[in-house]
Structure 1
């Protein structure tokens, strides 16, 4: 079995674009980005030509996010601030009861998914994000009330993402069940689940820790906007 290099998680965007998501990405040699209709994310393995690379990417989208260290940015781009996140990983399947009917979301569910995202989580989810992996949901009376899915993907890792519950349905255990289902499905693909969560989101961190996730490292996510 090929040994697992956990250091690839230090550059989650670049290694996803180089390994499993090349069709969704842009490779500037040392700067790596997703096509913005899929995911407006990037990171740098080194800062050579970073100013030029950022200028080129900003021609494609007026607002995007950089993971990790921040290079020098051109004067045409504004740094809107940084979000400190925990990168958390899971080492074994979750033993948590799933009592709801969890549906794998297909093309017919896309408008329901995008509607829920627009309501709760509009910043990071783009029109083609759902094409990056599997998404799962819980319906109540024909309304999609909670979702979780997969985003960045590497040879050995898949990111759990879009853990979203409709505000009127919080506190019913939907998120725990969906994260359990999604993470265990990632293990079934012989990969390791990981996720990113804001460091100040102590409630979500507690939920993830209760399911077995542990913090691997803290990582900065910078919001850059074209002036």
Structure 2
């Protein structure tokens, strides 16, 4: 099963009280991103959109309440194909199958989060993709594809010329930027490289620019990745909600 985000809260666990917890963009971050900052990358139409398959596995719908959404999904991804699953309260049409979910969390920044640039961090781009894919394959931070770097700014740390740690920007729901692909070579863990790169990304996210008037940082993680979650909370993130990550399979061709 591919890793896709059902954007479905399992349990409301509001944390910081900073005033950002009820932002609707965070309830459907892929849709907000695909209709906003990443609209130039989006495939689909008014009901259903996705990223190109070599950029990201994320896709989203405007609303599961629209009866036309099912045909729109098939039009976009085809028959016998995967798509993010709706909430369990949504009844699937005949022939559609829901995959097994696994739990994740959505974290958002608090007033304690203070980004800072890192002098050792280098910008990663197309020439670095083979090394980025190799590091992701070994560290398993989540999906990363040959053109994922197109989603935002990716940075890394090299030692003896070799990429040993990386992090970057993925989804960009309105007013927010998601930190993703936080990965460290196992031989270099315990040196604080991940924290340094996250704070560098946060610093950049907070800076106003032509395409973003200064965003806030958020991220997703597997619920059982407790070590990473503790690190993010220590840096200044807090739990906004628990989520289920699951896939949906469209029916076979009639």
Q: TM-score range by the shorter chain?
A: 0.7 to 0.9
Q: 2:201 aligns with which of 182, 189, 211?
A: 182
Given that residues 15 and 154 in structure 1 are in contact (C-alpha distance below 8 angstroms), is that contact kept between their aligned partners in structure 2? yes
For residues 79-130 of structure 1, the C-alpha deviation after alignment (integer angstroms, 9 at most, x for no partner) is 3321222111113474478776111113332222122123333861111111
- State whether residues 96 and 211 of structure 1, in contact with CA within 8 Å, keep that contact through their aligned partners in structure 2: no
**Larger helix fraction of residues:** 1
In terms of fraction of residues, the more strand-rich structure is 1
Gaps of 5+ in 1: none
Task: Look up the match of 1:51.
Answer: 70
* Residues 58-137 of structure 1 aligned to structure 2 (within 5 Å): 58-59=77-78, 62-66=81-85, 69=87, 71-73=90-92, 78-92=97-111, 94-95=113-114, 101-121=120-140, 124-137=143-156
- Partner residue of 1:30? 47
After TM superposition, which residue ranges in structure 1, 4 or more long, deviate above 4 angstroms?
60-64, 70-78, 95-100
Q: What's the TM-score once normalised by structure 1's chain length?
A: 0.85
Return the TM-score normalized by structure 2. Answer: 0.77
Match of 1:138, SS state, is strand
Displacement of 1:74 in angstroms is 5.8
Relative to structure 1, is the Cα distance of residues 224 and 124 closer, same or farther in structure 2, using a 3 angstrom cutoff? farther
CA separation of 1:86 and 1:193: change in aligned 2, threshold 3 A? same
State the Cα RMSD in Å: 2.8
Give the C-alpha shift of residue 197 in structure 1.
0.9
Secondary structure at the counterpart of residue 153 of structure 1: coil
Name the counterpart of 1:150. 169
Contact 1:55 1:74 in 2 (8 A): no
Mapped to 1, the partners of 2:115 and 2:32 lie a distance apart of 31
| C-alpha contact (below 8 Å) 2:155/2:166 kept by paired residues | yes
Q: Who is 1:216 aligned against?
A: 240
Please list every run of 5 or more consecutive structure 2 residues that lacks an aligned counterpart in the other structure. Answer: 1-19, 209-213
Greater Cα shift, 44-53 or 208-217: 44-53
